[in-house]
Every structure is written in C-alpha cells, then in structure tokens.
Chain A
C-alpha cells in the first residue's frame, strides 16, 4: 500500500538554526505531496504542496520543500527556525489516481522542539 514515512519522531533545534524534516513516500511516479503543521489546540494548517513543475516549492512561514524523485523524498526545510515554529509537522500524499477522491495519506509526524 502507498505510504508516507517520517523517520524522525522528535527533533530539537536551537532558535536561529536551520531545519530539515525528512519525508519519504512509496508508490506513484508523480505523487501529490503536502506538508501540514499542527500547533497545540489548532487544526492542521497547510504549509506547502507539490504536484508538478518546479521541484523546489515555497510555502508559508518561510518554509520550503524539495521534491526528489530519485530519492522518493519531499523534505521540508527552513533556513532559520523561530521559537514559534515548535509544533508537529506532517507530510502527506494525495491519492494515486485521479477520480479516486482526494483522501490524504499522512506520515506519523515529527515533533519539533525549539530551544531558546
């Protein structure tokens, strides 16, 4: 079955340091990929998405992600982390086929802690 893997359950970075959260997917030559952020008490918020074109995608809050087909990866990056970025981050992919609805398959999430 198609899956999304986030290898890192927890990551701690210092404020101002760079960040990279890993995401790998299985199946599908052209996956539709998303990164969501979940802050405490909030719903999931879309950071960015990729479906075609330029493999480097810019999102909100200074985040970007790069799609690498050869590595089946869609890692999320930020050059300088702010304390307010502490949250849980989820990578997700869309369905394999069009017409099959838009249900998302999520990874297990990475909890980001930011040290001041």
Chain B
C-alpha cells in the first residue's frame, strides 16, 4: 500500500480481555517496529522485526505483551489480560532495509487503546 496502515484505529476493551493490534507495513519494507505512546509522552520502543525474525523485544513491558510477524509482512501486537495502564496509542513503523542506522522509519496512524 501507499503507507503504513494499522487496525483498528480505536479499540475500547474491558480490563482482563485480550486485544490484537494489526500493522500492515509499506510493501517491501524489511523492518517493522512497534512503539507505545502514553498521553503527553513521546513514543517508546517496544519491539522490532527484520522480516519474520523478532530482533529486539527489550521494550515489551511484561510477558502479557507479545508480537509476531509470521510471513515477514503484517504484524500483530497482542496484549493479554489487559490492564488500565495499557491504555495508550500504539504505533507501528516500517523501514526499507533496517540496516542503515539513519534510515527513515515511516509511521502509521496508530491504534488508540482504551482499557476500562
């Protein structure tokens, strides 16, 4: 597609439910990143993939958070047993090769998650 897309754009869930957030990167982009942005804060790194391999998951806050990219394209970020503190904007980004440190990351519009 023309840009990075994310779905759903808004998600309201009850505490304890599982949610799955989807990211569709720019076609052909090797690297895919997930960030979380709390209100009034900048995005914080969660995890990233090169192709289907998860290269770094150091930013995932706990084991309720997981991500996958099974075919090296679309990625899903899953949050199990959601808690109110998980409420945030979840942003996905992709980049062409992931090998150049100054390479541009292209961001999607984000998924706004609200846990009641």
Contacts and interface: CB of A to CB of B under 8 A. Distances in A.
Interface string B15-37: 00000000000000001010100
Contact of A103 (B59, B104, B106): B59
B44 A43 contact: no
Contact of B101 (A41, A94, A108): A94
B108 A104 contact: no
Interface string B58-99: 010000000000000000000000000000000101010010
Contacts of B31: 102
Contacts of B106: 43, 46
A41 B109 contact: yes
B55 A101 contact: yes
A26 to B, nearest CB: 15
Interface in A24-45: 32, 36, 41-45
B33 to A, nearest CB: 7
B56 A101 contact: yes
Interface string A53-85: 000000000000000000000000000000000
Interface of A: 4, 32, 36, 41-46, 49, 51, 90, 92, 94-95, 98, 100-109
Interface of B: 3-4, 31, 33, 35, 40-45, 48, 55-56, 59, 91, 93, 95, 98, 100-110
